[in-house]
Amino acid sequence: MIKINTEDCYLCKACENNCPTEALKLNPLKVCQLCGKCTSVCPNDALHLREIELSGKKIKQIEYKPTKCNLCGECVKVCPNNLKIENSKLKGFCVGCTKCVDICPDDYVGMEGIIEPAKRNFVIPKEPIVVTDTCVGCGICVPECPVASISLENEKAVVDKKSCIYCSICAQTCPWNAIFVAGKKSPKRDKKIIKFDVDDELCIGCGDCTDKCPRNLIVVKDMVAIPPKGCPACGLCVSTCPVDAVDLKVEYGQAKPATSEGIIWDEEKCVYCGPCAIKCPNKAIAVVNPKGLEIPSKLKTEKQNQFRMCIRCGACVQICPTGALRLGKINHKGKDYDRIEFSPSLCNNCGKCIETCPYDILKLTGKREKPLEGFCVMCLKCIEACEKAKKNALSLN
């Protein structure tokens, strides 16, 4: 079975992009478990779970015989991970080819019984926010900071701790895991490379992009740079190219709620059922349904794969020009927690808080008595609703 060091992985997705059957997906991690459920239900004997020898050791693999497969989909129904039928082909089963292992630039991908994934030997600084020496100065974090607290100085990211709100968006976005908030490894934002091309007519084969790439992922062949199958998308190749031959466009996924104190969301336990969002009196939680469950129609949106909630980071408070938003305190079981407090009479509907919110949860209502919603007042009704649904994906830390 494929094993991945997800804590140190920086989501270059080389392993995912190199898998011939799409048996591996990252963020959240879904890997073929070689459990045999698909083989046991196949009515046509098209799938087999068998052992093969690799490096002198035996490993499991799924053998697939497409000539016997009628694409009935019975295997897809029982698979807990990636099996799917796409373009009249069955995808998502592991054949034990180890291409994912071979292509990882930092050896973070391994295979059970054959090779363990490498680990980064590093002690996380126990400070509110730290930019480590592994920062390559790519600057990706600078435009992502909701309160403009990050700048580049001497090719390294520098954080203004006076204005930083410790929302961890920078750490979640950093392509090289060089930023740490609250002494923790932050969950990584998903990202999709929309375009990564080199114009072979413009490229002069100088190799500057290869020299600048922190992992030497770009190669020059026949005097033309060739982009890799997987890339952290830091953009250094774009900025260093002397003839503007490199074109890189990246789409980032939603930042994940991350906070050391307050309401904690457990992604593994969440089934996106929706009671937490329904019970929230201020619409500070938004849920859509990537797992195919039935949820109330009021929660259905065109967006997919999202759970968003206000984490009381204070970005809206800092940007508010009228003082309508402020950070307050509330006590639960003898412990003080931050909460967002709002004065409707001071709000001028400018919308700056909405533009700044890292989690895209604030909205103007158009109502005079309550012109803004989406901020968390720490009433804990979401936790009560989640507990009542017996999911326990939300808790108070």
Q: How far apart are CA 189 and CA 35, in angstroms?
A: 29
The topology (CATH level 3) of 263-396 is: Alpha-Beta Plaits (3.30.70)
Dump the DSSP string for 162-215. TT-----HHHHH-TTS-EEETTBPPPPPPEEEEEEEE-TTT-----HHHHHSTT
Contacts of 324 (CB under 8 A, 6+ apart): 342, 343, 344, 345, 346, 347, 348, 372
Q: What digits encode the pLDDT tens for the residues 248-306?
A: 999 988 787 765 568 888 877 888 888 999 999 999 999 876 554 544 444 444 444 47
pLDDT (0 to 100) of residue 260: 56
Domain ranges of the chain: 2-111, 129-181, 198-247, 263-396
Q: Give the number of other Cβ atoms within 10 Å of residue 289's Cβ.
A: 19
Mean pLDDT of the region 165-190: 88
Q: What is the pTM of this model?
A: 0.75
Task: Output the CA torsion sign for 256, 3, 182, 261.
Answer: positive
**Is residue 241 over pLDDT 90?**
yes
Q: What digits encode the pLDDT tens for the residues 124-175?
A: 888 889 999 999 999 999 999 988 999 999 999 999 988 888 888 999 999 9
Q: What percent of the chain has pLDDT over 70?
A: 95
Do the domains 263-396 and 198-247 match in fold?
A: yes
The CATH number of the domain covering residues in 2-111: 3.30.70.20
The CATH number of the domain covering residues in 129-181: 3.30.70.20
Q: How far is CA 14 from the centre of its chain?
A: 15
Question: Which overall architecture, per CATH, does domain 198-247 show?
Answer: 2-Layer Sandwich (3.30)
> Is pLDDT larger for residue 276 or for residue 122?
276
